[in-house]
Amino acid sequence: MRLAAGLALVAALVPARLPAQGVRRDDAAAVAAIIAAGRGAPPVLCELAARTVESQWGWGGGGDIRAPRDATVRAALLLANQRITDPAVVPVLSAAIADADACVRRLAAPLLGRLDHPSARAALRVALRDENPTTREAAAFGLGFAEDAAMIPALLGGLQDPVSRVRVASAWALGEIEDPRAIGALVRLLREDGDAEVRAAAAWALGNIEG
Amino acid sequence: MPFALDVAIKASLLLLLAAATVAVARRAAAAERHFVWTLALAGLLILPVLAVALPWRLPIVPARVVRPPSQPVEMSAEVPAALTATRVAPRTGVAETPPPAATRAAGPEPVRPASGAHALGAWSLERGLRAVWIVGLALVLARLIVGVLAWRWLLRGAREVGDPEWIAALEAASERLDLTAPVRLLESPHANMPMAFGIRRPVVILPMEADAWPVELRETVLLHELAHVRRGDVLSNLLGQAACAVYWFHPLVWGAARRLRMEAERACDDLVLRAGAPPSAYAGHLLEMAQTAGTMRALAFSVPMAQRSEFEGRVLAILQPDLARRPLNRHAFAVGAFLLAAVAVPLAALGPARPESAQAEARATSRAEVVAHEVARVQATPVAHAEAVREAGVQASNPDPDPKPRNDPDPNANPQDEARLQGGATATAGLIAALADDDPAVRLAVARALGERQDTAAINALLQALRRDPSREVRKMAAWALGEIEDARAVPGLVAALRDERDVDTRRQIAWALGEIESADAVSGLGSALRAEDDAETRRMIVWALGEIESAEAVPHLTPLLRDADVELRTKVVWALGEIESPTAVEPLAALLAQERVVEVREMIVWALGEIEDARAAPALEAALRDTALAVRRKAVWALGELDGLRAAPAGLIAALRDADREVRRAAAYAVGELEDPAAVPGLAALLRDPDLEVRRTAIHALGEIRGVAASEALVAALRDEDPEIRRLAAQALGNR
């Protein structure tokens, strides 16, 4: 009898592990791991890790986390296998997008943007008004991953930022959101902005928005 | 591969291995066969656990190397893909001649980034399947639990057997079987046959009628049930049931569990016989048991003494004098357990290597290589792109604050649809104005955005950029955008630009755009460009574009190139002529077929002649039936069947019915059937004896197509064929006449 129960338990546990992406892990621990791994990571490795985080949309398929030898990429893959949903990590991520380390900001922004919770959105909106331009840039970047039309007014404000990199990120985010209400502002940016990179980003965003 | 499928396939392999072992070891005793099945079923249960838990994999499938996504700007990669989309397969139900290898050879397809939606779909399917599996598991486990409850209920109504005669018999039987563990003996009004149950505290339960049994019957019954206890059959049956629960969808597993139960019974019978019971008396007792068994279904994992279904084989086995009846020895046990581990562990680890790990293995992941790889896949957003470039040290960053643009956002003014319409026009107009931007990088982004939007309002502006922009990158992007917009109004401008453009990459891109637009207006312009062009790759692109346009006007421009020294160009010209399907190309193609040295080109010529479908190609194709290259012969047979207005099958086609290659024979049979030529009847009738089933089928089909007495007679004769398939098809063909 006890043996039968044991066998049934084993049988029930095996499928629970079947798709690795279905497994919920500890969000806080995963976020802490990625921030620690990102800090001071060489730029190109950070880029690789960030792409991994960005491209997977938390649906798994991040691949075999044993394969890459580098800790940053490994942490990113670990995270890509997991969808961060716990709003408890919002304060940690808000601090991370204000971090002095570019890689930490880069890795945290998509995570905060993709966390579908009002507190995450509020944190990004606040960060978009931060006094530090790198924080504002990361916040705009993160909002591009939120793809939330309610964030358009905040990003339109970002298009008027004095620092070009914030305007680039804001234009890019508006292109990701693909809402035609941003077209007027983007056309103006394309026509009037003094920075070529900003104008190119505006053009890209206009090409991305249907209509 | 989905996990479930993976495990199911491995389970099948394991069971087939067990079945093979049992089949090979014909002389093995029942106990040994039982052990093999036990091991196999245990292996089944371990398999999914190992597959999840093992830290390493054995890649068996050559892992797909993940290619880095190409840059979005790399447009020419899209072009050869269009070459592969040729309509080649004959329009038939029966014969399917493969398209020429040359056209099938896949060009690089545009690589698209993986979409999240796809992953989501696969994930939901997996979830759904898992839910179905859990329901099945629950049902089978429920059956098991009902069995346990029924057993409990049986025990509750049972009482200890106090009869000293029974107790003495029990002790005697235990001793004969070397059984040391104490066994409780119960009798129950609900039991209709003797059963053994319990793992740690074994119980034998008897029906109430047992008191009336003669001594010999009591003895054999007890011996049999105690043999089950001794062998631990309750446990192995439970194992079988567990395997059935986990693999309820797998018919082989149910079969294996059944075999396991059968072998357990036979092994017990063997033990009883070894303990000295006379076989004929024992068989007789078993018969009595089976007759009383009738109504009550055996509890899922108790061990009833006899079940009707498996009865005959058991009795025969009992009465067979020279059968091996040895029990399992320790040695065999150890070897078997080791074998199980040796088979199950690698089997579980087997699997296609995951792309990432394979990639990692393939390109020994030194950090520098990862970096190089990643730099090559700069594909993402302009932000990411800019950052990648900056961080790779290509460009110094510029943190200085810039003059702030003046704008006045008013996002909520319009309803969404109107905003989309107006916004679309605004966006295109804004982008068009920005084609005059000072910075070439901005103009490049603008041209690309206009191509993405595919708005015809941008055609003139893009043509202007194509003619005037000082940056060749921008000009090339403008050509790409015009190809994306695919509007014929751009053709005159593109043709003029093709004539005047000095950058070869841009010329190639313009030719590509004209091929995308597919307007016949471009033919003469492409033709003169073809004569003026020096670059081999661009010439090929122009030929490709002419093939795409499919206008007969292009033939005079193309035929002179059939003698070009560039093999790739010749192949492409032939392909284009096949696409255009103009009969004027038949003569030059047929002439080339006789002289062409390259097999692939000959194959392509034959394909093109088949596409053109002009009967004048028949002599050349007939000659191709004697080609040294098999691929050419196969294609020629197909092409002859495609030709229009051919009254009779060419002699060469009828001769091809006797070709050494079965594909040629099949295609020939199909072709003569299409031509409905009675002259082919004897050849087709001979093919009814062909060793290849597909050839026979096609021959019957062809005979059915051909009118006249001779074909009917051949079909009637086929009704007496030895092969039932031929008889059936012949009847069918006659019925359709």
Do B251 and B379 share a structural domain? no
pLDDT of residue B114: 34
CATH value at residue B519: 1.25.10.10
B462, part of any domain: yes
The Cα of A201 is separated from the nearest Cα of chain B by a number of Å equal to: 6
Please, what are the domains in chain A?
Answer: 151-211 (1.25.10.10)
Cβ–Cβ below 8 Å for A207 and B141: no
Q: Percentage of residues in chain A with pLDDT exceeding 70?
A: 72
Q: CB of B204 within 8 A of CB of B196? A: yes
Looking at per-residue pLDDT, the higher value among A158 and B404 belongs to: A158
B182, part of any domain: no
Q: Which residue of B has its CA nearest to A42?
A: B391
Q: CB of B55 within 8 A of CB of B255? A: no
Token pair 């051949």: residue? B714
The residues near B728 (Cβ < 8 Å, ≥ 6 apart) are none
Q: What b/e string do you get for B329-340 counting C-beta neighbours within 10 Å, with b at 16 or more?
A: eeebeeebeeeb
pLDDT of residue B347: 74
Q: Is A206 on the interface with B (CB under 8 A)?
A: yes
Do B455 and B314 share a structural domain? no
Choose the final residue of a domain: B526, B549, B572: B549
Cβ–Cβ below 8 Å for A43 and B451: no
Do B431 and B286 share a structural domain? no
Chain B positions touching A206 (Cβ under 8 A) are 427, 430-431, 449, 453
The DSSP-derived string for A43-96 is HHHHHHHHHHHHHHTTSS----TTS---HHHHHHHHHHTS----GGGHHHHHHH
Q: CB of A59 within 8 A of CB of A24? A: no
pTM: 0.53
CA angle B553, B554, B559 (to 5 degrees): 120
Q: And the tokens for A183?
A: 């077209």
pLDDT of residue B416: 56
Choose the final residue of a domain: B305, B332, B359: B332
Q: Give the structural domain span for B317.
A: 134-153+232-332
Length of chain A: 211
Closest residue to B116, CB basis, from A1, A57, A69: A57
Q: CB of B98 within 8 A of CB of B104? A: yes
B281, part of any domain: yes
Do B526 and B382 share a structural domain? yes
Closest residue to B431, CB basis, from A7, A77, A190: A190
B259, part of any domain: yes
- Show which of residues 433-472 on chain B sit within 8 Å of chain A, judged by CB atoms: 433-434, 437-439, 441-442, 444-446, 448-453
Do B477 and B391 share a structural domain? yes
B555, part of any domain: no
Residue A210 DSSP one-character state = -
Do B380 and B272 share a structural domain? no
Lowest mean per-residue pLDDT among A8-12, B98-102, B520-524, B723-727: B98-102
Q: And the tokens for B545?
A: 């574009």
pLDDT at B463 over 50: yes
Of the pLDDT bands very low, low, confident and very high (cuts 50, 70, 90), residue B144 is confident
Chain A positions touching B382 (Cβ under 8 A) are 168, 172, 197, 200-201, 204
> Which is nearest to B433 in space by CA: B443, B441, B424?
B443
Do B434 and B323 share a structural domain? no
CA angle B152, B153, B157 (to 5 degrees): 115
pLDDT tens digits, B526-567:
999 999 999 999 999 999 999 999 999 999 999 999 999 999
Do B431 and B295 share a structural domain? no
The residues near B328 (Cβ < 8 Å, ≥ 6 apart) are B29, B31, B32, B34, B35
Rg of chain A over Cα atoms, rounded to whole angstroms, equals 20
Q: What's the per-residue H, E or C state across B466-505?
A: HHHCCCHHHHHHHHHHHHHHCCHHHHHHHHHHHHHCCCHH
pLDDT tens digits, A35-70:
887 788 777 777 767 776 665 443 333 344 344 455
Residue B204: strand pairing partners:
B185, B196
The Cα of B386 is separated from the nearest Cα of chain A by a number of Å equal to: 8
Do B531 and B474 share a structural domain? yes
Q: How many domains does chain B have?
A: 2
Looking at per-residue pLDDT, the higher value among B360 and B676 belongs to: B676
Lowest mean per-residue pLDDT among A60-64, A155-159, B222-226, B412-416: A60-64
Kindly tell me the burial class for residue A55, based on how many C-beta atoms sit within 10 Å of its own C-beta (0-12, 13-18, 19 or more). Answer: middle
Q: Which helix (H) or strand (E) covers residue B617, if one does?
A: none
Q: Percentage of residues in chain A with pLDDT exceeding 90?
A: 44
Calculate the dihedral angle through the C-alpha atoms of B672, B677, B679, B681, rounding to the nearest 10 degrees: 60
- Show which of residues 11-50 on chain A sit within 8 Å of chain B, judged by CB atoms: 11-12, 14-15, 17-19, 21-22, 43-48, 50
**Strand order across the B184-188 sheet:** B159-160, B184-188, B203-207, B195-197, B303-304
Looking at per-residue pLDDT, the higher value among B436 and B320 belongs to: B436
CA angle B209, B210, B214 (to 5 degrees): 115
Q: Is B382 on the interface with A (CB under 8 A)?
A: yes
For residue B698, CA distances in Å to B359, B672, B704 come to 46, 10, 10
What's the CA gap between B577 and B35, in Å, rounded? 69
B499, part of any domain: yes
Of the pLDDT bands very low, low, confident and very high (cuts 50, 70, 90), residue B624 is very high
Q: Where are the beta strands (DSSP E) in A61-188?
A: none
Residue B56 DSSP one-character state = -
What's the CA gap between B465 and A26, in Å, rounded? 54
Query: Is the ipTM reported for this complex over the cut 0.90?
Result: no
Q: Percentage of residues in chain B with pLDDT exceeding 70?
A: 76
pLDDT tens digits, B239-249:
888 898 888 88
Calculate the dihedral angle through the C-alpha atoms of B415, B417, B422, B427, rounding to the nearest 10 degrees: 110
pLDDT of residue B489: 95
B104, part of any domain: no
Do B389 and B260 share a structural domain? no
pLDDT of residue B123: 55
B304, part of any domain: yes
Q: Which helix (H) or strand (E) covers residue B436, if one does?
A: none
The residues near B456 (Cβ < 8 Å, ≥ 6 apart) are B485, B487, B489
Do B390 and B295 share a structural domain? no
Of the pLDDT bands very low, low, confident and very high (cuts 50, 70, 90), residue A138 is very high
Percentage helix, strand, coil, to 5, in chain A?
A: 70, 0, 25
Do B375 and B272 share a structural domain? no
For residue B337, CA distances in Å to B15, B125, B265, B343 come to 16, 37, 22, 10
Q: CB of B285 within 8 A of CB of B220? A: yes
Choose the final residue of a domain: B332, B350, B385: B332
Chain A positions touching B434 (Cβ under 8 A) are 190-191, 199, 203
Q: And the tokens for A197?
A: 């990179």
What's the CA gap between A114 and A109, in Å, rounded? 9
Q: CB of A167 within 8 A of CB of A195? A: yes
pLDDT at B590 over 80: yes
> Which is nearest to B383 in space by CA: A137, A46, A195?
A137
Residue B188: strand pairing partners:
B207
Cβ–Cβ below 8 Å for A164 and B402: yes
The Cα of A103 is separated from the nearest Cα of chain B by a number of Å equal to: 10
Q: Is B387 on the interface with A (CB under 8 A)?
A: yes
Chain A positions touching B235 (Cβ under 8 A) are 3
